[in-house]
Structure 1
Amino acid sequence: MSGREDEALAQAAVTALTGALALAPKPGLPDPRDLGARASRMDHCRLRWSAKALAPGLAAMAAAARRTGEPTPGLRTELGAIGRCTEHSVHLAGGGHRGALWALGLLVAAAALDPRAGARDIAATAKQIAAHTDKRAPRRPSRGSSMSAKYGAAGARGEARAGFPHVRRALNALISSRAAGATEEQARLDALLTVMSTLQDTELLYTAGPMGLRHVQAGARGVMEAGGTATKAGAAALTTLDIDLHARACSPRGSAGLLAGAVFLDSLPVIATP
């Protein structure tokens, strides 16, 4: 790999994230409709802008993986240091995307280690990287770690150490929905809802508690059981869920970051083509 290929991986990840942001309607999450809502207009604009601030850090992660050549403890520590610097840059640009940075950073680094690897192999390599401890990470509790300790939820760290099962599930949903005739937007919404239906989202646990999490999971399952967003019944169920979650201020942010990871992996065969 070269520096140009590192940048290409980073840009693919950012494109995946901005593509996920562009989807609508996303239940409980910012989407382009916010541009017409004065109260929340800045949320979507800020997230679109700050997503671009991830690119230099993601390219640096790809370069670090390429130099190291293996999923070593040293690589995990270096990725952590780059990630914290990138978080600061993103904060200055408007904030957000912390969960997406974690998932995309590991997947980009794993893809850089073996440019010829398929999506499942990349997820497996990311699992190997995540299995190591970042010895330089600050020893302070986060929302996610607090909820993981309190409720036993896997959280972002557990998701990575399990090989990103929800990213792989979202990727399968993308492929299945396309094969069934869904549009690209509908397929991506189905992938998002697939993640929402089972993910133990620690951010939701923090803001809405176990009952709120179960409510979101049940609503997402309801859309998929109605046939998915490409069907009339599924689209109606999605509209109902969207209104409900926005009214409750339930935001499944963890699912959004994992959807971006799936869209990134889905794009890799395309960017690997000369």
Structure 2
Amino acid sequence: MTAALPLLRDDGCRSARAAPAPVIAELAVDALIAEARLTPKPALVDERGSGAHRDLDLDTMLRSAHALHPTFLAIARAASGVAPSQALRERLARIGREGEAAMLRATGGSNAHRGAIWIVGLLCAGAAMHAPGDSEAICASAACIARYDDRFAPASAKASHGARVTARFRVAGARGEAREGFPHALRMGLPALADARRRGLSDTHARLDALVAIMASLDDTCLLHRGGMEALAVAKDGARCVIDHGGLAHAAGRAALARLDADLLALNASPGGAADLLAATLFLDSLGQSS
């Protein structure tokens, strides 16, 4: 299958050839699977168990990830060879809502990847517009799409946990993260991943270091929903402690991660927003490696 044709971006520059839509979709699903399987994550579903979640386990997460392949494929195809626009934003929103329905069918009603449909889905659109290794351009175009409003969004979208938490605590949330160009993936997750690899860490430790770097900064709406400002402070402070102790390369860093896990479990709070942004980081990283 041939790659998408170059397109005219808003800045008037033509992009290099993007990856084919099937490749983009496959890498997106792989990123969700890699995030789910990464172990040990603090209070999140992983190979050990369900973390702070009662309605999710690893098998459910994997079923959800596989169920989203058609969604990511449709998003990439819709965005191939075009520029960000209101029409594209609303077309992708319809595809995303269909993907959410497929996710809920696959999980028996559990919300495994609602945030990832938005975050990784937008990045799939950006990936369909630019060369696979151009993470900056991919994130910029995805952000441009996100800045358009979805005029046909159902009223329930304004009553979601994320929307309520964003308004109550005045944080950016997933929508703000996207509109700002995914800074926690681009400026924190990817650099942490690259730095860990330069130091010779395993993929597991490198990915955990990337997750911790995201957690140390992110105003995670999942934590705020489950445990308020206390849970967010525990997560940020605990993640910084892991970093201060040298990260996963050092025994002290691994011990700090274990303490963070226990502290968040005691609060029944899970950093789901950071997990979605780790998946975004892994997706961008895999795109770069495929180029």
TM-score range, shorter chain: over 0.9
Query: Residue type of the partner of 2:130?
Result: D
Match of 1:152 in 2: 170
Moved over 3 A (4+): 39-42
Query: 2:137 maps to what in 1?
Result: 121
Structure-to-structure mapping, 1:192-231, within 5 angstroms = 192-231=211-250
The one-letter code matched in structure 2 to 1:143 is: H
Amino-acid identity (%): 42
1:60 corresponds to which residue? 74
Contact 1:204/1:213 (8 A) holds in 2: yes
* Higher relative helix content: 1
Equivalent pair of 1:111/1:117 in contact (CA under 8 Å) = no
Structure 2 residue aligned with 1:73:
86
Compute the RMSD of aligned alpha carbons. Answer: 1.9
Task: Check the 8 A contact 1:183/1:230 in 2, yes or no.
Answer: no
| Count of aligned positions | 269
User: Does the aligned pair in 2 maintain the 1:178–1:184 contact within 8 Å?
Assistant: yes
- Once the two structures are overlaid, the 10-residue window that deviates more, 137-146 or 9-18, is 137-146
Q: Deviations over 1:166-219 (max 9, x none)?
A: 011101110011112211110100100111111111121111011111111111
Q: What is the TM-score of this pair, normalised by structure 1? A: 0.93
CA drift of 1:157 comes to 0.3
- The CA distance in 1 between the partners of 2:205 and 2:31, in whole Å, is 15
What is the rounded CA distance, in whole Å, between the counterparts of 2:49 and 2:54 in structure 1?
6
**1:235 maps to which residue?**
254
How far off is 1:22 after superposition? Answer: 1.0
- 1:142 Cα deviation from its structure 2 partner: 1.2
| Counterpart Cα distance in 1 of 2:163 and 2:23 | 32
Deviations 1:100-133 (A, max 9, x none): 1111100000010123551111111111111111
Q: Cα distance, 1:271 vs. partner?
A: 2.7
Residues 89 and 268 (structure 1), Cα distance of their counterparts in 2 relative to 1, 3 Å cut = same
| Matched residue SS, 1:198 | coil
Matched with 1:180 is 199
CA distance in 2: counterparts of 1:48 and 1:40, whole angstroms: 16
Residue type matched to 2:99 in 1? T
Residues 132 and 290, structure 2, Cα contact 8 Å, conserved in 1: no
| Long gaps (5+) in structure 1 | none
Q: Distance in 2 between matches of 1:235 and 1:42?
A: 25
Checking the alignment, whether the CA contact within 8 Å between 1:195 and 1:255 is kept in structure 2 is yes
TM-score between both structures, scaled by the size of structure 2: 0.88
Q: Which ranges in structure 2 are unaligned for 5 or more consecutive residues? A: 5-18
